[in-house]
Amino acid sequence: MTKIHEALGKLQASSARREGNHKVDAAHGADSSLYLPSIDSLPNGEALLASDDQADRVEIDFSKLCDEGLFPPVDQQREIADQYRLIKRPLVDNASGVGAYQAEDANLIMVTSALPGDGKTFTCLNLALSMAKERDKSVLLVDADVVKPHISTLFGLQDKPGLVDLLKSDDLSIKQTVVPTSVDNLWLLPAGREDAHASELLASRRMEAVARALSGQGSNWIVLIDSPPILVTSEARVLAKNMGQIVLVVCAGKTPQDAVIDAATSFDISKPIGVVLNRLSRTKRHEYYGYGSRGQAGDRQQSVRA
């Protein structure tokens, strides 16, 4: 992983941030109402995402999550929670405008992987749970893995209107697609119904407008997006263009080094790219730069920031 870290570092150093990279294009801004006529643009994000219908609230069953391998067993929860506090801190600081990266869209964070099975959904879900514990933050967890919507299926939302429907219909608003959960400060936006043109929808100007609407709810809101693997589908590449921060999950001993470099170099290198090394054995933990977190029982994660 040292070579991967060096490659990322060189990429970051070789490109100055583009001037005005995070400013809304004037023409797009003027036309945004054409593509986002029904999305609520409220100054208070809590009002945007609040729901009065508790019958639609998703109950987060931690025992089920544990059985699915998406949450640690009881005897490991405290240690893993501590490790995720370390992983989330630079992301939260950037989103709050007090970190090393200053941008209006830094509260849009995409979690992806080079290949399937690297642990991106585990990482995304546990990051969301950890971030929701922040005293002054609320988290919207978006299932943008429209090909294999694991999070939506896990919580029984696979048939509910979601991101794809929001991008297809001018009559649907964010408020109509977001679902509250039993965890304080945590909301879900499901993937929505399957569509053969999902890639084009994610690349559309309406997606840009949706991203701006979500980002514009203020730094007290963090939008965490579970993306498809970057090298397997085209959806992740187009989705990344609208994100402020990117987290790449890598499986130690499994993900080929070339695949990690190919994935990392496909992103806009003016944005911060974090790498979480999943399933890192304890004996090799200190051979890598970064801070650690456990991902699955008996394994370690490592976050390397370039």
Q: How many domains does the chain have?
A: 1
Residue 205 included in any domain: yes
Per-residue pLDDT 10s for the chain (306 aa) are 555 556 555 555 544 443 344 333 333 342 333 223 333 433 344 455 555 455 578 889 888 888 888 887 787 788 778 878 988 999 999 998 887 777 888 999 999 998 988 889 989 999 999 999 998 899 999 999 988 898 999 999 988 999 999 999 888 888 889 999 999 999 999 999 888 888 888 888 888 888 888 888 777 889 999 999 999 888 888 888 889 999 999 988 888 888 988 888 888 878 888 888 876 655 444 333 333 333 333 344 444 443
Domain hosting 153: range is: 2-13+58-180+195-233+253-305
The count of other CB atoms within 10 Å of the CB of residue 267 is 22
Say how far apart CA 166 and CA 222 lie, in whole Å. Answer: 19
Residue 52 included in any domain: no
Residue 165 included in any domain: yes
Residue 290 included in any domain: yes
Q: Is 200 exposed, middle or buried (0-12, 13-18, 19+ CB in 10 A)?
A: middle
Give Cβ neighbours of residue 266 (< 8 Å, ≥ 6 apart).
230, 231, 237, 240
Question: Token pair of 5, please?
Answer: 């870290």
Strands (E), 94-190: 108-113, 138-143, 179-180, 186-189
Residue 131 included in any domain: yes
| Range 133-138 contact pairs with CB under 8 angstroms and sequence separation of 24 or more | 133/185, 134/92, 134/185, 136/220, 137/92, 137/185, 137/220, 137/221, 137/222, 138/45, 138/46, 138/49, 138/185, 138/186, 138/187, 138/220, 138/221, 138/222
Residue 33 included in any domain: no
Residue 246 included in any domain: no
CATH of residue 143's domain is 3.40.50
Residue 140 included in any domain: yes
